[in-house]
């Protein structure tokens, strides 16, 4: 595995493990990408020696080389080359369960492969020998046409699914008349664990990355001097620098976040503070990119059962969130695993969402089957 920054190693290793790769060696390269092979000549020779010594069958480049760099790198190394986008797509392919998730993942893969196929044609026209897509320019052009046809068909199917989801959402909002809160955050922060705990569900959780690719809805009610109720939506996890192919094809799924009344951003509080703040900043950047702006955001500082004296970390996270996103409602320390502070999180989330919807607070005490 080749990594550009040392800070990327932990995340890259987790992605490799989730995708089913056994990492036998790592090579760090810190300089700017080489224009020809992405990796500098010196590091390229080091990588060749590492492949020979470790018997590696593939090289994971934790970056996104241009198609021209990808081909040169593959030619130089003589083994399979997998870049960051392809690595993430492999994980999505493993975890895609719903029809929509499978179609979205296939669409992202096809658009990724289309750029490589076009580069292949360009190289064949220049007289190069490239062992990809079969023999010759004609075969490559045929594959490109087939990819485009499949892309068009998938996009039509996804448009039908998107329309159906919007209709379902309108019916749900009209019928239930409760706010919707999207549960967001960096992958492996504990989003699905939180939704499971809130709804007493058994959705698949980590430790693998990107276990959730399709939104899941759960209605949650809390009685405490009134009724606090909302639909919480489990959504796909974020990662720093989400490849544009993935953002594009998962737009309809991510729209569940954009059109929600409020969002809960789950942070892994057991990580070092600097890393947690980096992931918070990255997640907020992704929210801005998909159009979640000006709506209330509650930070769920998760896994406090693994942290001693977490209060100072919570304050720093809250200050950092407010400086980056002025509409931050507040930060609630929780443990999805232990159930700690989940009632408070629901209440704060509902209050935030009501503010966005301009829904009045309950004026009378309401008690249900549970305690008030």
Q: What is the pLDDT of residues 219-254, one digit of tens each?
A: 999 988 888 999 999 888 888 888 887 888 787 778
Annotated binding residue 187: yes
Q: What is the pLDDT of residue 345?
A: 96
Cα 61 versus chain centre, distance: 19
Q: 216 Cβ partners below 8 Å, 6+ apart?
A: 192, 195, 201, 203, 233, 234
Q: Per-residue pLDDT for 111 more than 90?
A: yes
Measure the CA–CA gap between 104 and 140, rounded to whole angstroms.
Answer: 24
Q: What is the pLDDT of residue 245?
A: 78
- φ and ψ at residue 228, rounded to 5 degrees: -120, 115
Annotated binding residue 336: yes
Residues 292-313: what's their mean pLDDT?
Answer: 94
Residues 288-316: what's their mean pLDDT?
Answer: 94
Q: What is the pLDDT of residue 316?
A: 96
Domain boundaries for CATH 3.40.50.300 within the chain: 178-357
Q: Per-residue pLDDT for 202 more than 80?
A: no
What number of H helices and E strands is found in the chain?
12, 10
Annotated binding residue 235: yes
Annotated binding residue 278: no
Q: What is the pLDDT of residues 325-362, one digit of tens each?
A: 999 999 999 999 999 999 999 999 999 998 855 444 43
Name the more confident of 216 and 315.
Answer: 315
Annotated binding residue 291: no
Q: Give the CATH class of 178-357.
A: alpha beta
* 367 band by pLDDT with thresholds 50, 70 and 90: very low
* 6 band by pLDDT with thresholds 50, 70 and 90: low
Q: What is the pLDDT of residue 252?
A: 72
Predicted structure pTM score: 0.81
Q: Per-residue pLDDT for 212 more than 70?
A: no
Name the more confident of 267 and 40.
Answer: 267
Going by C-alpha positions, the residue among 53, 51, 54 that lies closest to residue 78 is: 51
Annotated binding residue 192: yes
Annotated binding residue 99: no
Annotated binding residue 340: no
Q: What is the pLDDT of residue 63?
A: 87
In CATH, the architecture of 2-92 is 3-Layer(aba) Sandwich (3.40)
- Going 233 to 86 to 205 to 298, the CA torsion angle's sign is negative
227-234/216-223 β-pairing: antiparallel
Measure the CA–CA gap between 332 and 57, rounded to whole angstroms.
Answer: 46
Residues 150-167: what's their mean pLDDT?
Answer: 90
* 4 band by pLDDT with thresholds 50, 70 and 90: low
Domain boundaries for CATH 3.40.50.11060 within the chain: 2-92
Measure the CA–CA gap between 213 and 236, rounded to whole angstroms.
Answer: 5
Annotated binding residue 191: yes
Annotated binding residue 212: yes
* 125 band by pLDDT with thresholds 50, 70 and 90: confident
Q: What is the pLDDT of residue 359?
A: 40
- Mean pLDDT is highest, among 129-133, 225-229, 287-291, 332-336, for 332-336
Q: What is the pLDDT of residue 362?
A: 37
Q: What is the pLDDT of residues 138-150, one digit of tens each?
A: 677 788 899 999 9
Annotated binding residue 185: yes
Q: What is the pLDDT of residues 262-278, one digit of tens each?
A: 999 999 999 999 999 99
Name the average pLDDT for the chain.
84
- Mean pLDDT is highest, among 285-289, 358-362, 366-370, for 285-289
Annotated binding residue 237: yes
Q: Per-residue pLDDT for 30 more than 70?
A: no
Cα 94 versus chain centre, distance: 14
Annotated binding residue 186: yes
Residues 354-372: what's their mean pLDDT?
Answer: 41
Q: Per-residue pLDDT for 312 more than 50?
A: yes
Annotated binding residue 305: yes
Annotated binding residue 355: no
């Amino acid at each position: 595995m080749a990594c550009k920054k040392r800070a990327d190693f932990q995340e890259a290793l987790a992605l490799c493990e989730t995708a089913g790769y056994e990492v036998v060696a790592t090579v760090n390269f810190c300089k700017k990408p080489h224009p020809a092979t992405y990796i500098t000549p010196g590091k390229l020779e080091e990588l060749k020696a590492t492949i020979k010594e470790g018997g590696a069958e593939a090289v994971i480049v934790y970056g996104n080389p241009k198609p021209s760099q990808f081909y040169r790198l593959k030619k130089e190394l003589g083994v399979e080359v997998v870049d960051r986008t392809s690595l993430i797509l492999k994980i999505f392919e493993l975890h895609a369960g719903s029809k929509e998730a499978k179609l979205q993942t296939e669409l992202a893969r096809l658009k990724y492969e289309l750029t490589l196929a076009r580069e292949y044609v360009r190289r064949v026209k220049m007289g190069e020998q490239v062992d990809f897509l079969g023999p010759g320019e004609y075969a490559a052009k045929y594959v490109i046409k087939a990819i485009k046809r499949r892309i068009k068909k998938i996009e039509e199917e996804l448009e039908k699914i998107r329309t159906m989801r919007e209709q379902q959402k309108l019916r749900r909002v009209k019928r239930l008349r409760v706010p919707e809160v999207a549960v967001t955050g960096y992958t492996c922060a504990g989003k699905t664990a939180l939704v499971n705990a809130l709804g007493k569900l058994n959705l698949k959780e980590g430790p693998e990355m990107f276990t959730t690719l399709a939104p899941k809805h759960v209605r949650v009610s809390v009685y405490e001097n009134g009724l606090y109720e909302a639909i919480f939506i489990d959504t796909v996890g974020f990662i720093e620098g989400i490849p544009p192919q993935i953002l594009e094809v998962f737009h309809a799924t991510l729209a569940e976040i954009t059109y929600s009344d409020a969002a809960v951003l789950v942070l892994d509080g057991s990580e070092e503070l600097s890393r947690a703040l980096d992931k918070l900043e990255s997640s907020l950047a992704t929210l801005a990119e998909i159009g979640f702006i000006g709506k209330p955001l509650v930070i769920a500082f998760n896994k406090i059962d693994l942290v001693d004296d977490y209060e100072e970390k919570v304050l720093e996270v809250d200050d950092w969130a407010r400086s980056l996103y002025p509409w931050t409602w507040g930060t609630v320390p929780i443990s999805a695993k232990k159930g700690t502070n989940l009632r408070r999180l629901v209440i704060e989330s509902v209050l935030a969402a009501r503010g966005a919807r301009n829904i009045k607070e309950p004026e009378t005490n309401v008690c249900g089957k549970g305690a008030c």
